Amino acid sequence: MSKLIDVEKEGVEIKKSACYFCHQNCGVLAYVKDGKVLQIEGDPEFPTNQGGLCCRGNVALQHLDHPTRINYPLKRVGKRGEGKWEQIPWDQAIREIGDRLLQIRTDHGAEAVATAGGTQRTDDWARRRFMNLFGSPNGFHNSHLCWIPTFMVETAIYGWCPFELDMGNSRCLVLWGQNPGAAGMPEMHHITEFQKKGMKVVVIDPRYSETAAKADLWLPLRPGSDLALALSWIHVIIYEGLYDVEFVNNCCEGFGELAEHVEPFSPEWAAPLTWLTPEQIRQGAYMYALNKPGNIQWGTSVDQIGKPAGSTMHARAILRAITGNLDVPGSDLLTGPSPDFITDEEMEANEWLPEEQKQKQIGADRFKLVTWPGYSRIAEETRKVWGKAPTAEWMCEAHPPSVFRSILTGKPYQVKALLVSATNPINSYGETKLVLDALKAVDFMVTCEYWMTPTAALSDYVLPIAGALERPTITSSYGCSDFLLASQRAIAPMYERRNDYNFWRDLGLATGQADKWPWETVEDAYFHRIAPLGYDVGTYDEFVERYRFHFPEREYAKYQRQGFATPSGKVELVSSVLKDLGYPSLPPYIGPTENEIDHPELAKDFPLVLTTGGGFMPYHHSEHFQIRDLRFLRHEPYMDINPTTAAELDIKDGDWVWIETKRGRIKQKANLTPGIHPRVVFTQRGWWYPERDIRDPDLAGALESNANILTSTADEDCDPYSGAWANRGLLCRVYKHDAELKEAH
Amino acid sequence: MARYAMVLDTRRCVGCHSCTVACKVHNELPVDMIYNCVTTVGPTGVYPDLHMTHLPLLCMHCATSPCVDTCPTCASQQREDGVVFVDDKKCVGCQACIMACPYGARVMNHETGAVQKCDFCKDRVDAGLNPHCVNTCHQKARIFGDLDDETSEVHRLVHGEKAVRLLEELNTEPHAFYIY
Amino acid sequence: MLAVDFFFAGMGGGMLVLAGMIELFIGEARTSFLGNLLGPVFMGVGCGFLVLELGRPFQSWRVFMNPKAILTAGAWIMSLAMVAGLAYAAFGIDPRWFGSESFRWQQDQYPVRKLLSVVCVITGLVVATYPGVLLARHKGRPFWVGPGLIPLFLLSSLATGSAAHFLSGFLIAPEALSPVWASLPSLAGGLLFFQLVLWLGYIYVKRTGATAAEAASAQKWIDGEHAGSFRYGFLFAGTLLPLILLLQPLPALKAAGAVLVLLGGVVMRCLVVHSGRDRTWLPGEQKYRGRLPHGDEAFLKASWNR
């Protein structure tokens, strides 16, 4: 029954493509004949997945030609959300959109046009290029929730983000709020292999996750209390003499001040805040500090705790420095940007955005770290040492909630147009009600999508975008890695889909940017980027077929040669860059966005602690709920609750329950599990019900089980450094869904 | 003659269900048919002292398979190398094999009126390739091979590690081994 | 539906055994022609239901193909039973229905009749018993596994067979005058008694059985989902009440009792088949399957689910 494709006999071509359904971007072999993909499988020779392919990758063919894919440009007729569309040619759509944007620019300024993205799934440098040339500083993604603030804090402290883990030589890995066992399969595989060779694994996670179940030490902290844990670890490492004296003396600034700062932050201080015992806290610190070299793997959790986020990132970053786990074999490596190929930032045309436009970036007045003020300051330092800057489309963005508010309030000015690509803001941005109001109110909205999502349903134009097998892909960690992995498209885009690169380029051509887009196809642009590497290839496809990836020679301890890309040339435990931006130079203690100590009144009504945002198979954010084989495996949302808590609330396994915060409530089914603290609950993210009516107001159930109904993006609830909002550590309550639930989903 | 077997390393399995989906997709199964469940036992224990195991389930390709014995039409057959499969032409959909299998490995296809099951991707195996579920597993938690070949990975694991079989006491001689 | 198949086939087998045994050890024409005819006919009805339940009914001839399978052996033997039963029943055809004085082929056929009787007894016994053997061999079905179901199915077949022969006699009386027909209720009653004892013993042994799965499956008969039907359908209406009725002097009451015996047979087979849904579940399996869609969910009807 399993088809066996005989390559020779049937005239089948093998294309070296990529999955692209998540950041791991596993290599995929696509068997193509006559322009059709017959079968796909994991590429055994691809360094990350080595032939493996997860649930999502396996349904690529169902995704490719799904009956409900958007295949033609659509123009709204009738009211917004009414669901009435006219199919128009691509060129007409581009022309009309371009004209409208130009009109808006004339009437309100280029800054009145904003773009929204999700996680990295598209050629975002092309998006930034368009925006820079157009004159608008208001591009944004969900970057605040995903690595970007961490990147910038760590770059401020040690001159780049050491996201390249040299696990092969490592003796300890701390997974700080990351669960690769449920969502990052190649990474999990590598962890498993190195564990077999003796590497210790510490998992910091409120849930007994798939990865926690394989760990040597599981630290189930109170969601949002990572800062207390990090500060107490610094305390232990310093005051129990576990720090790397040589590295600290030779390479770090401000150790004395740091030591004084963390003096009160003992494990005994941290215990009631983290709900861990002092023994557990010490055990973790010892495991990391004494099993050297070691790694701290970033996880989205710290980016998603709201108010304490920036400070936590700083504290966590300090741990690498004081243990000397920086840029040495087996530790976290400061690879820096690639000097060899053209990085994303170099394709963004940032130099074309006028200064006065930069200053109009929404949110930059309050949140400096990942906007132009912080980005400029930090890029200044990185350019001195590395010669290049981090990717601006990610590291330098408008503050999304502030943009949504500007649409509704007109402050600081009203954003008139929203170009949405590769995101479903109704599902994925914080404080859903705010997002929904903004999307309904904005004058003009264009969505580039695979599917008719709730956001697309509210748009004026929906443009069909080509997916993974229909596009080439370069994987380079948001443009910040020194390596790249290259994949080619298996087939040309089907129907009238275009690559997202071409959307931005076509829009650029339609708005007077013609001379700035010399690369007609994505392959042309990619070839331009890899050409400086000097491989003997004439096209991008040739590079993929013959080489597939570029890994430069590894140089450890580069700081010995060039110092760190900071003002002092050393690791700034006391950060002068953060101080320049108006932030504390040492990480202060800040409690979670909502917590029982600082908000006792709130805790009376909302006695449980919520964590959400964690990934789980077989979905990815709000994707794949309409892929039948995946939906069959997990067709309803489940929230995790401890059995003792459930008993108190008279909740049985499988009951529908409400989870409510100050912002609103959602319903999910109860999964009783001892794998979570009795006072903590976890809700799954991303849920909507594509089989339901997509039109307003049902929006295919996007408001029913969507965790973002529960979150807040009010300024006072956000991280002062970056403006990141909290998905974790909020206060909530849970109760049974008494009303009879009609099986409408 | 070879004797094929599958080893499931539960120390590695994280319950991602990728093998379930790969199997469904490559066998083009109707949406409600699953050959290859992955169950989760736990977390068991009292917070925070917990334990959790994931068990990929599949047809055990038993040496004394009750399903082959019970089939009245000779549709259910076992090859010399141990692979148990269904010859669709001969199946009349009586479901006796479904009732006979202690492992729940067989599924009725209501569209075609016949019974189907995992066949170890025998066409691929005959061509020297691994079954799809083995290839797709990132964790390399599924190992397939010839149990009689002393140099094979399955042989090494079954004889060298702590390996058990499910429902061993029923004496069907299953050929899927679980490492723990 | 499988239960209905078992019921009819089993009853038919029992009827054949009875007809044959009486012919062999008591004498000719002691049983009703209708009863003799209904034996193979009921078997045929059972087979008919079985065929209809196949995924591919038109391919049903294939079930004769695997001599090593119990089902195939059963199919062959049931076929033989039906032929032998019909042939034997033919001896009871009244020539006057066809306007004849007599049929030559019906006379002086002592050896043929006895031979057919022997075949009927043997094949009838097999048909009455082999479903029990089939279920008893299901290692994966905790309520079924083990030898206990074999005598239970045989007894049920004989009891319902006796009841059916008795009821047939009301419509077409046996040709020869004898006390055999009138004794059938007592036979049925005796079989019911044995069946009751065996059932109580079976449930007890399963409940204290070798495995937890067996105990759990038996518990369902004691106070779980099968308890109501077992107590009121089988024990009361299908065993105790007919036992009393069958021992009454009034033929009408005996007939009522016989009908209840048939009811009890149906209820019992239904309960046994339902119990077969309990499998030797693997760790974590019930939770996994319990969370899968049931089939009526809205998303399954969407265009992207075909």
Query: Looking at the structure, do residues A42 and A100 belong to the same domain, yes or no?
Result: no
Q: In B44-128, which ranges are continuous DSSP H helix? A: 66-70, 96-100, 122-126
Per-residue pLDDT tens for A399-430?
999 999 999 999 999 999 999 999 999 999 99
CA distance A235 to A260: 9
Q: How many CB atoms lie within 10 A of CB C284?
A: 20
Q: What is the DSSP string of A585-606?
A: SS------SS-TTT-HHHHHH-
| Whether residues A87 and A190 fall in one domain | no
Set out the domains of chain B in order of their start, with CATH numbers.
4-67+122-179 (3.30.70.20)
pLDDT digits (tens, 9 = 90+) for C91-129: 888 888 888 888 888 887 888 989 999 999 999 999 999
Looking at residue A742, its pLDDT comes to 43
Chain B residue whose CA is closest to C280 = B102
Residue A708 backbone phi and psi in degrees, to 5: -75, -10
Lowest mean pLDDT among A141-150, A654-663, C104-113: C104-113
Residue type, A242: L
C18 burial class (0-12, 13-18, 19+ CB within 10 angstroms)?
buried
Q: Is the pLDDT of residue C147 over 80?
A: yes
Chain B residue with Cα closest to C297: B32
A6 pLDDT higher than 90: no
Is residue A277 domain-shared with residue A405, that is, in the same domain?
no
Q: A490 in a domain, yes or no?
A: no
Query: Has residue A675 been placed in a domain?
Result: yes
| DSSP state at residue C84 | H
CB B163 within 8 A of CB B10: no
Give pLDDT tens digits for A187-237.
999 999 999 999 999 999 999 999 999 999 999 999 999 999 999 999 999
Q: Which helix (H) or strand (E) holds B117?
A: none
In chain A, how many domains are there? 4
Residue A621 DSSP code: T
Cβ neighbours of C298 in A, within 8 Å: 689, 691-692, 743-745
Arithmetic mean of pLDDT, A660-669: 97
* Neighbors of chain A by Cβ distance (3+ pairs < 8 Å): B, C
Residue B18 touches chain A, beta carbons under 8 Å: yes
- Residue C298 and residue A66: Cβ atoms within 8 Å? no
A76-118 pLDDT, tens per residue?
999 999 999 999 999 999 999 999 999 999 999 999 999 999 9
Name, in order, each residue with C-beta under 8 angstroms of A109's C-beta and a sequence gap of 6 or more: A135, A360, A413
Give partners of B (≥3 CB pairs < 8 A): A, C
Mean pLDDT of A432-437: 97
**Residues A572 and A682 placed together within one structural domain of the fold:** no
Are A186 and A24 in contact by the 8 Å Cβ rule? The answer is yes
Give me chain A's average pLDDT, please: 96
Q: What is the dihedral sign for C-alpha C142, C143, C148, C154?
A: negative
State whether A54 and A118 are in the same domain: no
In a domain, A392, yes or no: yes
**Residues A347-372, mean pLDDT to the nearest whole number:** 97
Taking an 8 Å cut-off on Cβ atoms, the answer to whether C301 and A690 are in contact is no
Q: What is the pLDDT of residue A191?
A: 97
Cα distance between residue A310 and residue C57, in whole Å: 69
A69 domain residue, yes or no: no
Same structural domain, A259 and A388: no
Query: How many residues does this entry show for chain A?
Result: 745
Q: How confident is the model at residue A531 (pLDDT cuts 50, 70, 90)?
A: very high
* Contact between C304 and A67 using a beta-carbon 8 Å cutoff: yes
ipTM of the predicted structure? Answer: 0.96
Q: Give the domain CATH number at A16.
A: 3.30.200.210
Cα separations in angstroms, A323 against A156, A256, A444: 18, 15, 52
Q: How close A65 comes to chain C (CA, Å)?
A: 11
A61 touches chain B (CB under 8 A): yes
Interface test with A, best of C289, C294, C297, C303 (most A CBs within 10 A): C297
Peptide bond into B43 cis (omega under 30): yes
Q: Which of A340, A357, A304, A315 is nearest to A149 (CA)?
A: A304
Neighbours of C173 (CB within 10 A): 13
* pLDDT confidence of residue C160: 96
Task: Assess A47–B contact: CB distance below 8 Å, yes or no.
Answer: no
The closest CB to that of B135, out of A51, A54, A181, belongs to: A51
**Chain B contact for C291 (CB, 8 A cutoff):** no
We report the CATH number of the domain holding residue A79 as 3.40.50.740
With both helix axes pointing from N to C terminus, report the angle between A309-322 and A255-262 in degrees, rounded to the nearest 10: 120
Q: Is the pLDDT of residue A740 over 60?
A: no
Work out the percent of chain C whose per-residue pLDDT is above 70: 100
pLDDT digit of tens for each residue in chain B (180 aa)?
899 999 999 999 999 999 999 999 999 999 999 999 999 999 999 889 999 999 999 999 999 999 999 999 999 999 999 999 999 999 999 999 999 999 999 999 999 999 999 999 999 999 999 999 999 999 999 999 999 999 999 999 999 999 999 999 999 999 999 999
pLDDT for the residue numbered A1: 46
For A296, the domain range is: 162-333+565-580
Query: Is the Cβ pair A58, B136 closer than 8 Å?
Result: yes
CA torsion C106-C111-C114-C115 (nearest 10°) is: -110
Average pLDDT for residues A297-304, to the nearest whole number?
94
Q: What does the alpha-carbon distance between residue C72 and residue B36 come to, in Å, rounded to a whole number?
A: 30
Looking at residue C304, what is its pLDDT?
A: 84
Determine the pLDDT at residue C100: 85
The pTM for the full model equals 0.94
Q: Once rounded to an integer, what is the mean pLDDT over residues C279-293? A: 96
Tell me which H or E stretch contains B94. Answer: none
Structural domains of chain C, ranges and CATH numbers in brackets: 2-280 (1.20.1630.10)
Find the CATH number of the domain harbouring A208: 3.40.228.10
Q: Which amino acid is at A219?
A: L
Smallest CA–CA distance from B22 into chain A, residue:
A58
Residues of C in contact with B91 (CB under 8 A): 55-56
Is some CB atom of chain B closer than 8 A to the CB atom of A206? no
CB atoms A743 and C297 under 8 Å: yes
- Per-residue pLDDT, averaged over A582-587, amounts to 97
Tell me the shortest Cα–Cα distance from A409 to chain C, in angstroms. 39
pLDDT in tens, A614-638: 999 999 999 999 999 999 999 999 9
**Residue the block writes with tokens 């089988």:** C234
Position A744 pLDDT exceeds 70: no
Angle at C72 between CA C68 and CA C77, to 5 degrees: 115
- Quote the CA–CA distance of C89 and C104 in Å, as a whole number: 16
Question: What mean pLDDT do residues A71-79 have?
Answer: 97
Q: Do residue A228 and residue A241 come from a single domain? A: yes
Q: Considering only CB atoms, which chain A residues are within 8 Å of C302? A: 626, 690-691
A407 and A310 fall within a common domain: no
List CB contacts (< 8 A) between B17 and chain A: 55, 617-618, 633
Place of tokens 């890695």: A481
Are the CB atoms for B155 and B161 separated by under 8 Å? no
Q: Say what the pLDDT of residue C209 is.
A: 80
Cα(A284)–Cα(A267) distance, rounded to whole angstroms?
11
> Closest to C62 (Cβ–Cβ): which among B32, B90, B99?
B90
> In the Cβ-directed half-sphere of C190, how many Cα atoms lie within 13 Å?
6
DSSP-H helix ranges across A85-147: 90-108, 124-134
Q: Are A248 and A167 found together in one domain?
A: yes
- Distance (Å) from the alpha carbon of A468 to chain C's nearest alpha carbon: 20
| Rg over CA atoms, chain C | 22
pLDDT tens, position by position, C66-93: 999 999 999 999 999 999 999 999 988 8
In this structure, the answer to whether residues A95 and A18 fall within a common structural domain is: no
**Tokens found for residue A612:** 């959400």
Residue A524: burial class (beta carbons within 10 Å; 0-12, 13-18, 19+): middle
**H/E element holding A171?**
none
If asked whether residues A573 and A658 sit together in one domain, one would say no
Sort strands A139-140 and A217-219 into parallel, antiparallel or unpaired.
Answer: unpaired
The pLDDT value recorded for residue A210 is 97
Task: Report the pLDDT averaged over residues A9-29.
Answer: 92
Task: Look up tokens 């502030």; give the residue.
Answer: A402
Helix, strand, or coil (residue A519):
coil
CATH code at position A698? 2.40.40.20
The secondary structure of residue A264, as a DSSP letter, is T
- One domain for residues A645 and A691: yes
- Over residues A693-710, the mean pLDDT reads 96
